Homo-oligomer: A and B are copies of this chain.
Amino acid sequence: MSKLFERHRAILEKAIDACQQRYSWTAYPESPSSKIHGKEIPAEGKAAFDNLLGKPFPLDMPGTNGQVGEEVSPFTEMPLGITYPKVDVDKLFEAAKAAQREWSAQDIEERVGVCLEMLDRLGQPDSLFVNAHATVHTAGQSFIMAFAGCGANALDRGLEALAYAYRAMKDVPATATWQRRFGAAAETRLEKRYRLVPRGTSVVITCATFPQWNGYPAILASLATGNPVIVKPHPKTTLPVALFVRTMREVLAANGHDPNLVTMAADIRNEPVTIDLLHHPDTAIIDFTGGPQFGQWIENNCPNALVYTETAGCNSVVIESSDDFLGMCNAIAHSLCQASAQMCTSVQNIFVPRDGIETNAGHKSFDDVCAELVAAVDRLISDPKQAAYLCGTLVDEGIFRTIDSLRSAAGVSVVRDSSPYAHPEFDQARTATPLMLRVEAANKALYGKEHFGPISFVISCDDADHALQRATEDVREHGAITSHVYSTDERFLDRAEQDYHGAGASLACNLTGMPINFAAAYSDFHVTGLNPAGNACLSDLAFVTSRFRIVQTKFPAVAKSG
C-alpha cells in the first residue's frame, strides 16, 4: 500500500464523506492571518515571490526551445519580467506519453496518494503565500481573495475531484471468479482481472482569472486516473500555474515518478500554442476554462478528445419581492463588486418589475431598487482599503474599453458610473468600480451576452413573470453559471425553480448575509452542463468516469484441490 496514500487517507475519506453529504468543509487554511501563520511565513512568501521577478522561472521542461513570458501586474502596470520555457509541442507530447506507461501501471492508491501529497504540499502555508502573491500580480485579485479563492477554495475543488476519481476507480474490482455451465458441457470456471487504462494525454487550459480553481480538479482527475497532463496557462496568468506545476513535478520526482506527468506549455498572445495542443493526435482529454465562444468551438471541433468546458454566461437575478430589502441589495451589490465581477459566478443582469416590488420596507419603485443597489455598492467600496479588498483590479485592460462603449450605448441610462478607485497601496492599480446601467427588457441585444468585468444591467420588465421569462430565455441562449431569485411568494419561488431548472440552471433563492458568488466545494455542483456556459460539472461522477477505461483478461481458473 502506498505510504502517501496511508499518510493522507483520513483526508480523502473525509472528502468522500463531504461529497456524499455535501456539508461545508475545508481541508486547507482559508485565512492569511498572521494570527494563524505568524509573521515569518507570510514574509518569506512575499520574498519568494519578489525573488521570482525579472528572471526565467526555475522550471525544467522537456522540449524547451527558448523562453516566453509577457505578464504585467494589474497592480503596478509593470511587466513581471518572468519567462517560462517555450516548448516544442511534439517533444512535450512525447515526454508525456513516455511518462504514462509507468504511471498507469501503478496501483490506484499510489496515484491517488501522490495526488493527495501534491494537494498537501500546495496547501502548506509557504506555498499558499507565494501562490497568493503570484495570483495578485497576474489575475489581479486582492491578496485576501487570492489567498482563499485561489488557495484553499481551489485546493478543496481539487480534492473533491480526486475523491470522485478515487471512488470511480475503486468501483471496478481488481479480480473476479466466474463459473457457469454451457449446455451439457463441464462447468467453466474463469478468473478475470480488470485493469484501468488511462485515455491518454490530457490538455488543461486554464483561464486568466482563477487558474487554480478549475485547473486543480481537471489536473487531479486526469492524473489520478493515469493520464499525463499538459497545462496551458493563460499568457496573462502563467506564474501561479508555473508554481503549482513545479510543485507537482517535485512531488512526482520525490516519489520516484516521472515529473513529465505534469508539464506546462506557456505561450504569449502573438504566438499561441493552444490549437496545436488541442489538435495534437495524442490529445485524448481537453479541459477548458475561458470564454464561451472558444469553449463552444472546442466542443464542436475536437472530436479527437473528451472535452470538458467551463465558460461563462449571463448570470441573472430576478427580483419579485423581498422580506429583507437591505440585505438583498447588499448581497447583490457584493456580487457586483467582488473581484470586479470577474468571477464566473458574478451577477450581470438584474431583472426588476417596472412598477417596483413589495418589500419589508414597503413598496419600492424601480428607481428605489436602483438607488438602493447603488447605495449598497457605494457603501461596500467607499473605504479604499475595503474597495481594494473586495474589488482587486482588472485582469484585462480591455475592460476599460467595454465600460466606455457601454456607458454611452443606445438605450441605456447610467445608474451608477464606473470610475477608478484609489488603491491604498498601488498607485497604478488598474481599478474600476461597478458600472450599472438601466435598460429595457426589450434591449436584449445589449445585455444578452457576457460583458466580462464590473458591468451590470438593471433591466426593466413588465412584471416578475416577464422578468423570469426573460432571464431563463437568456440562460437557454447564452448560458448561466449562477442564478438568483428574491421573492417572498412561495408560488413564485416554485415557478422560478421550475423555470430555471427547465432552462438548465441551478438557482439560489433569497441569499443574504453571505458572498453570493461563493460556490462551495463538496456541496455546490458547479456548472450544470445543460446550458451554453459549459458542459462539465465540478465535480460529479461524470467529470471523472470517462477519463479512464477498463480492459480485462480472462483465463481458466486453476482447479483448487480438496
Closest Cβ of chain B to A315, distance in Å, is 15
- Report yes or no: A546 in contact with B549, Cβ–Cβ below 8 A: no
Task: Give per-residue flags for A477-511: 1 if the beta carbon is below 8 A from chain B beta carbons, else 0.
Answer: 00000000000000001000100110011111111
Do residues A511 and B177 form an inter-chain contact, with CB atoms below 8 A? no
**Inside 8 A of A173's CB, which chain B residues have their CB?**
20-22
A185 near B545 with CB under 8 A, answer no
Question: What are 27 sample pairs from A and B whose C-beta atoms fall under 8 A apart?
Answer: A20-B171, A20-B173, A23-B179, A168-B541, A180-B520, A182-B518, A197-B501, A197-B528, A497-B553, A500-B551, A505-B551, A506-B554, A507-B552, A507-B553, A507-B554, A509-B554, A509-B555, A510-B555, A511-B554, A511-B555, A512-B556, A525-B552, A528-B550, A529-B549, A537-B550, A540-B550, A545-B546
In this assembly, does A178 line the interface, its C-beta being within 8 Å of a C-beta of chain B? yes
Cβ contacts under 8 Å, A197 to chain B: 501, 504, 528, 530
Q: Which stretch (A37-45, A186-194, A350-358, A422-430) binds chain B?
A: A186-194
The answer to the question of A66 belonging to the interface, with a C-beta cut-off of 8 Å to chain B, is: no
What B residues does A513 contact at CB under 8 A? Answer: 185-186, 188
Q: Is the CB of B551 within 8 A of A528?
A: yes
A420 touches B (CB below 8 Å)? no
Q: Is A195 an interface residue (CB 8 A)?
A: yes
Q: A507-B553, A552-B525 given as contacts; is B24 within 8 A of A180 (CB)?
A: yes
CA distance in complex: A550, B199 (Å): 25
Given contacts A24-B179, A24-B180, A542-B545, A553 and B509 within 8 Å (CB-CB): yes
Give 5 closest A-B pairs by Cβ, nearest first.
Answer: A22-B176, A509-B555, A542-B545, A24-B180, A188-B514
Report the bound CA distance from A553 to B185 in whole Å: 57
Q: Does A127 make an interface contact (CB < 8 A)?
A: no
The residue in chain B whose Cβ has the minimal distance to the Cβ of A169 is: B541
Q: A23-B178, A528-B550 are in contact. Are A545 and B541 (CB under 8 A)?
A: yes
Q: Are B524 and A551 in contact (CB under 8 A)?
A: no
Any chain B CB within 8 A of the CB of A300?
A: yes
Contact with B along A409-438 (1 / 0, CB 8 A): 000000000000000000000000000000
Chain B residue numbers with a CB within 8 Å of A552 are 506-507, 524-525
Question: Which residues of A are interface residues toward B (Cβ below 8 A)?
Answer: 20-24, 168, 171-173, 176-180, 182, 185-186, 188, 190, 192, 194-195, 197, 199, 299-301, 303, 493, 497, 500-501, 504-515, 518, 520, 523-525, 528-530, 537, 540-542, 545-546, 549-556
Query: For A525, what are the chain B residues with a Cβ–Cβ distance below 8 Å?
Result: 194, 550-552
Contacts of A508 in B (CB 8 A): 553-555
Closest-CB distance, A167 to chain B (whole angstroms) = 8
Structural contact, B530 and A171, CB atoms closer than 8 A: no
Tell me which of A182, A515, A553 has the highest count of chain B C-beta atoms within 10 A of its own C-beta: A553
Q: Give bound CA distance, A168 to B552, whole Å.
A: 22
> Cβ of A300: which chain B residues have Cβ within 8 Å of it?
303
Give the distance to chain B from A462, nearest Cβ to Cβ, in Å: 25
Give the chain B neighbours of A551 by CB distance below 8 A: 500-501, 504-507, 525, 528, 530
Report how far A510 CA is from B558 CA in the complex, Å.
12
A500, B550: Cα distance in complex, Å: 12
Contact partners of A520 in chain B: CB under 8 A = 178, 180
| Contact of A542 with B546 at beta-carbon distance under 8 Å, contacts A22-B192, A504-B197 already known | yes
List residues of chain B with CB within 8 A of the CB of A199.
530
- Which residue of B has the minimal Cβ distance to A548? B542
Q: CA A20 – CA B173 in complex, angstroms?
A: 7
Q: Are A506 and B553 in contact (CB under 8 A)?
A: yes
Residue of B nearest to A198 (CB): B530
Interchain CB contact (< 8 A) of A171 among B179, B523, B541, B550: B541
Q: Which residues of B contact A556 (CB under 8 A)?
A: 509-512
Give Cα distance in the complex from A524 to B186, angstroms.
21
Q: Contact between B545 and A540 (Cβ–Cβ < 8 Å)?
A: yes
| Distance in angstroms between the alpha carbons of A192 and B20 in the assembled complex | 13
Tell me, in angstroms, the Cα distance from A445 to B514 when the chains sit together: 67
Which residues of chain B come closer than 8 Å to A195, judged between CB atoms?
A: 501
